[in-house]
Chains A and B, each alone.
Chain A
Amino acid sequence: MVAFRFHQYQVVGRALPTPGDEHPKIYRMKLWATNEVRAKSKFWYFLRKLKKVKKSNGQMLAINEIFERNPTTIKNYGIWLRYQSRTGYHNMYKEYRDTTLNGAVEQMYTEMASRHRVRFPCIQIIKTATVHFKLCKRDNTKQFHNGNIKFPLVYRKIRPPTRKLKTTFKASRPNLFM
């Protein structure tokens, strides 16, 4: 599989200890970002909204990348998100079938960009979960919950096997069947 744009990180941080508070509470967040630097920045963004702490008076304790445990099995992912449209904030729940959570999150971002014209900075992921197939809500994912799934590939475009062999003009019209 190609490299994912989005990586999942676990970020742990807390406010700096002060004379008034020797052991401030430690907070942990799981987020998606393209790299670790962005993940740390996003962590402070969210933490600022929840607690009275900023990067300048806080410290990062740990940042680890979280990898998919079973990238060879297909799972149904449900993603709860909050996004900003041109007229306000909305919540959404979307379902995706994929082998990894990072893949599903990437699908979500591309779908939000294409369907709703919402870009990455305007989306906040509230929650993600693997959903049991009986609990899936969207027909689009439920249609693949079939042990005897069978469908033909209707429109077959013949591609040259490498981009080097690509030509602009062809001698004859292509055969699209099979």
Chain B
Amino acid sequence: MPFKRFVEIGRVALVNYGKDYGRLVVIVDVVDQNRALVDAPDMVRCQINFKRLSLTDIKIDIKRVPKKTTLIKAMEEADVKNKWENSSWGKKLIVQKRRASLNDFDRFKVMLAKIKRGGAIRQELAKLKKAAA
């Protein structure tokens, strides 16, 4: 199985440990074997260990260490935000966040919706069983 996601300048990655957990960042330069210089539109450029990054499929077209405005423009052109939110990984994270931020009333509504959905599935199943019998 060849590798598809590489550490390269312009690779978008997700921080999966530490203070910036959950943030999408762009690799703008490689310090050495273990660390990359990383940047995002709303944070100061900093170095971060590869162990804290999960690479994504998204890559943008930038030169080594671009200015902040160039980076933001390149991210807009590559439409990173939409690509991320439409990818299955991104969608899962959004759903997880939504579920974690429910209040009790929302959980009640979810319970009712689940019961309703279960009821509809069971009705259809009963119809199919009757048709097959």
Q: Which residue in B5, B16, B29, B47 is a CB contact (below 8 Å) of A152?
A: B5
Q: A150 and B31: CB pair below 8 A?
A: no
Residue pair A97, B5 in contact (C-beta under 8 Å): no
B1-42: CB near A (< 8 Å → 1, else 0) gives: 101011111000000110001000000011110000100000
Q: What is the CA–CA distance of A71 and B6 in the complex, to the nearest angstrom? A: 25
Cβ–Cβ contact A151 & B7, under 8 A: yes
Interface residues on A, range: 20 to 34
* Interface of A (DSSP majority class): loop
CB-based contact A152/B30 at 8 Å: no
Residues of B in contact, count (CB < 8 Å): 25
Given contacts A149-B9, A151-B6, contact A159 B37 (CB under 8 A): no
B46 CB contact (under 8 Å) in A1, A153, A154, A157? A1
Q: Are the CB atoms of B37 and A74 closer together than 8 Å?
A: yes
| Mask: chain B, 29-69; 1 = CB below 8 Å from A; 0 = not | 11110000100000011110011000100000001110000
Assembled-state Cα–Cα distance A177/B17 (Å): 18
Q: A74-B29, A144-B32 are in contact. Are A150 and B7 (CB under 8 A)?
A: yes
